[in-house]
Chain A
């Protein structure tokens, strides 16, 4: 009898232990789901090379711990790869233009640089790049300064020359240093095509430390093949940050050289706006790469892009830049209101002028975004 009793008690004890554990687990699950609900997810969408990953890096630098030494060192390989790829692109591009273009003579490399060109082109085509040392840096610099290469660079919109080309070419000797550690700017300029999805979680700690708003930011690839993966992220998103590079109006796509980049941005923006899961989502449109836009608008007119073909330049200098920017902004706003169905009229839509490389500007912009989202949340909770 005693045995039975004790055994029963044993079972009871075991049971109660299990019960306690089960309760604990359930409590934890509940907590986490509650926590999840407070996390606001933000999506960075846009076409390829529109600046999404740069903004992602900025957020990391601003609101997270930033990059530690390991990560900084890991970017050295990326920066060197950028250099080699750029110079190879320019060299091969000059050869092609020398063959096909009507004014072929200005794209022909000078004879003393031909060997360097071949060598660098071959290095650029390898899978494993050599470390950038002083010797190679000097050679690359000589080639960069060659007239033919400069002329090819002026035609860079036809090739897929990255925007960081000029910056890295001007800083070659610093990059080739044996003890080189990339600066923040170097990392922001470094160009890597994103694939798949990356996320970070952060809290925009401002003056009110108790705000406790937690954001989860998703960065995606922008090329056409990457877009079929976006659909997995669309549920329950608080806000979409759509990046549109306004300096792209004369360039063609990486994945389809028959399509203009601005037209692709327009089509993609339409598609994203029409998504049924975004009926209540706030839209923040970042008109990005304003620094490049400023310089380009004075040389290349806006009408080269079909969407902007009714643009009339009014003046020159700063006024012209402002006028052109306002025109582009108006086009995007018109498109938004044309597409938006009556049911989604009360969703938030804001346009921001950004330069993703400028940290102060991004900090300010993000503060505005944060405020808008908080106001929207309070509004929805009925407190405003």
Chain B
């Protein structure tokens, strides 16, 4: 729906005048001329008279001829034209152009006048109108480059670093943003004349590209996704609870005005053949663009006081700045082009600027830091940050995921309750390895993460919220990768909590899982190889030699082998080492 800097409403007006006024009067002229000829020759075949008329009409028509010879210009486009000699040929000139649009007529006849003017302005005038200027190709190359940069930033973490895909909106919203950006760029390339097409195909229809794909599926979709992300951040960090509307409901809701406007434009059909629309349609379109940027500003302003850790706020402000400036660029170029219609280089320049600002827009606006904060930490340039860190490590929780070897090694007494034993880090690691081996590891990983959450001081609510959100995404949401075995009530309590930074948020779930581990896993652990290994390691002591013989007890593997290759626990466990 962008009415770019390309004018030629004037062309339409001129064509209207031509049909209404000029053509009828020329026809009358022709009729008079024929009549005069007939009278002169006493009637007869007009066609047969023509060549005869030329010669015979002599002085009476010399004035006509002289006039035409001298003027030597087409009555319509008022340009010198060698093709025109006689009034009849005037009609010939007219008839073909009556069908073709105004500009194509110009371009057909103006090259013949090439001698009087320099070649490039007309060539430029040609490509300014039809597309295919060198600057156009440069602009397309720049926007193509920005699409490639965008794709690499979004997809490479999954492909190169083999990060597992998050389920739910954390994955889809960034992907939809990427798609919307690509749609925006392609729609602008197709609807504005960058490329010269020989034939017009039905899929090149203006309405598809300039109306539907640019609006609801391009700029509108892009901004709506960002608004949904800002909306989620506002609820999670501002109000400390999960957003009441899931993203698959709020996103279509935000897209409704775009679809409504697109449908309205499609019905009224104010676009001409060059995908330009009248001023009265341009205003609501630009207003909708500006309103959505305004909504994004409103949500961002509501969370501006929060100290985010993954540059979410900075990304939002940058996106808003670039979106607002690109809308300004579009408006300015449109206005300039309305005012100075004939200046060819202005058209070309504004076209170039349009596509370049769109390219910059898509690279800056799309950001994954809101939905997938950990992924945004992976830099493709630096080698050390190739590994995906855990949230605990990123947030700076002390001793996150590390085992210190300097701890004293008390003897492990199986009669002690499990929760006391789990406080010892080395025992925890051994138990976790055992749980992973029989595909029951998610409870232990959950325990570890809750342990880390507990290390964050209760008044540091921002970090607590980041950790809590990560835990909910990984363990609590139905269908998540490491979903834990808790009751419905417990799950609902966590998902509908009014305060995500509450220190006792996950207490009930932890209790349930500890009970599960005590009743189920612990009994099998004592007779497993993992416990034997653990006893060996702890009984070795600092001297390095075994202090006691490991008693010969029969151990039974709970699960002897796993047949699958993509064991989520093994993968997770290794990546955390």
Q: Which residues of A contact B (CB under 8 A)?
A: 74, 77-78, 81, 125, 127-128, 160, 192-199, 221, 223-226, 228-229, 231-236, 253-257
Q: Determine whether the beta carbon of A255 is less than 8 Å from that of B438.
A: no
Q: Determine whether the beta carbon of A255 is less than 8 Å from that of B487.
A: yes
Q: Determine whether the beta carbon of A194 is less than 8 Å from that of B515.
A: no
Q: Determine whether the beta carbon of A195 is less than 8 Å from that of B520.
A: yes
Q: How large is the interface on B (under 10, 10 to 19, 20 to 34, 35 or more residues)?
A: 35 or more
Q: Determine whether the beta carbon of B439 is less than 8 Å from that of A225.
A: no
**Which of A128, A197, A225 is the one whose CB lies under 8 Å from B483?**
A225
Q: Determine whether the beta carbon of A224 is less than 8 Å from that of B435.
A: no
Report the nearest B residue to A258, measured CB to CB.
Answer: B488
Considering the complex, which residues of chain B in the window 437-475 have a beta carbon less than 8 Å from any beta carbon of chain A? 438-443
Q: Determine whether the beta carbon of B521 is less than 8 Å from that of A128.
A: no
Question: With the chains together, A109 CA to B417 CA distance in Å?
Answer: 34
Question: With the chains together, A78 CA to B484 CA distance in Å?
Answer: 21
Report the nearest A residue to B514, measured CB to CB.
Answer: A127
A22: min CB distance to chain B, Å: 24
Q: Determine whether the beta carbon of A257 is less than 8 Å from that of B559.
A: no
A121: min CB distance to chain B, Å: 14
B contact residues around A125 at 8 Å (CB) = 511
Q: Determine whether the beta carbon of A225 is less than 8 Å from that of B484.
A: yes
Q: A160-B487, A226-B485 are in contact. Are A198 and B515 (CB under 8 A)?
A: no
Question: With the chains together, A128 CA to B487 CA distance in Å?
Answer: 19
Q: Determine whether the beta carbon of B511 is less than 8 Å from that of A195.
A: no
Considering the complex, which residues of chain B in the window 486-517 have a beta carbon less than 8 Å from any beta carbon of chain A? 486-489, 491, 511, 514-516
B278: min CB distance to chain A, Å: 54
Q: Determine whether the beta carbon of B558 is less than 8 Å from that of A232.
A: no
Q: Determine whether the beta carbon of A195 is less than 8 Å from that of B478.
A: no
A contact residues around B562 at 8 Å (CB) = 232
B93: min CB distance to chain A, Å: 73
B contact residues around A231 at 8 Å (CB) = 564
Report the nearest B residue to A259, measured CB to CB.
Answer: B488
* Residue of B442, B567, B568 contacting most chain A CB atoms (<10 Å): B442
Question: With the chains together, A77 CA to B417 CA distance in Å?
Answer: 11
**Which of B438, B439, B441, B488 is the one whose CB lies under 8 Å from A256?**
B488
Interface presence of B563 (CB below 8 A):
yes
In the complex, per-residue mask of B182-208: 1 if CB is within 8 Å of any chain A CB, else 0: 000000000000000000000000000
Q: How many A-B residue pairs have CB under 8 A?
A: 85
Question: With the chains together, A325 CA to B558 CA distance in Å?
Answer: 36
A contact residues around B71 at 8 Å (CB) = none
Q: Which 6 A-B pairs have the closest CB atoms?
A: A196-B440, A232-B564, A225-B483, A196-B438, A229-B439, A257-B488
Other A-B contacts than A195-B440, A198-B438, 16 sampled, CB-CB below 8 A, are A74-B523, A125-B511, A192-B519, A195-B443, A196-B435, A221-B440, A221-B485, A223-B485, A224-B478, A225-B483, A225-B484, A228-B568, A232-B562, A232-B564, A253-B488, A255-B488
B contact residues around A232 at 8 Å (CB) = 439, 562-564, 567
**Which of A194, A199, A236 is the one whose CB lies under 8 Å from B560?**
A199
Interface presence of B537 (CB below 8 A):
no
Question: With the chains together, A198 CA to B434 CA distance in Å?
Answer: 12
Question: With the chains together, A193 CA to B521 CA distance in Å?
Answer: 11
Q: A78-B519, A224-B478 are in contact. Are A196 and B488 (CB under 8 A)?
A: no
Interface presence of B572 (CB below 8 A):
no
Interface presence of B419 (CB below 8 A):
yes
Interface presence of B524 (CB below 8 A):
yes
A233: min CB distance to chain B, Å: 7
B contact residues around A221 at 8 Å (CB) = 440, 485
A contact residues around B558 at 8 Å (CB) = 196-199
Question: With the chains together, A163 CA to B538 CA distance in Å?
Answer: 43
A contact residues around B489 at 8 Å (CB) = 257
A contact residues around B521 at 8 Å (CB) = 195-196
Question: With the chains together, A224 CA to B516 CA distance in Å?
Answer: 16
A contact residues around B442 at 8 Å (CB) = 225
Question: With the chains together, A196 CA to B489 CA distance in Å?
Answer: 22
A228: min CB distance to chain B, Å: 8
24 residue pairs A–B, Cβ–Cβ below 8 Å = A81-B515, A81-B519, A128-B417, A195-B521, A196-B438, A196-B439, A196-B521, A196-B559, A197-B440, A198-B438, A199-B558, A199-B560, A225-B485, A229-B439, A231-B564, A232-B563, A234-B563, A236-B563, A254-B488, A255-B485, A255-B486, A255-B491, A256-B478, A256-B488
In the complex, per-residue mask of B561-577: 1 if CB is within 8 Å of any chain A CB, else 0: 01110011000000000
Question: With the chains together, A226 CA to B568 CA distance in Å?
Answer: 13
Question: With the chains together, A198 CA to B521 CA distance in Å?
Answer: 10
Q: Determine whether the beta carbon of A195 is less than 8 Å from that of B516.
A: yes
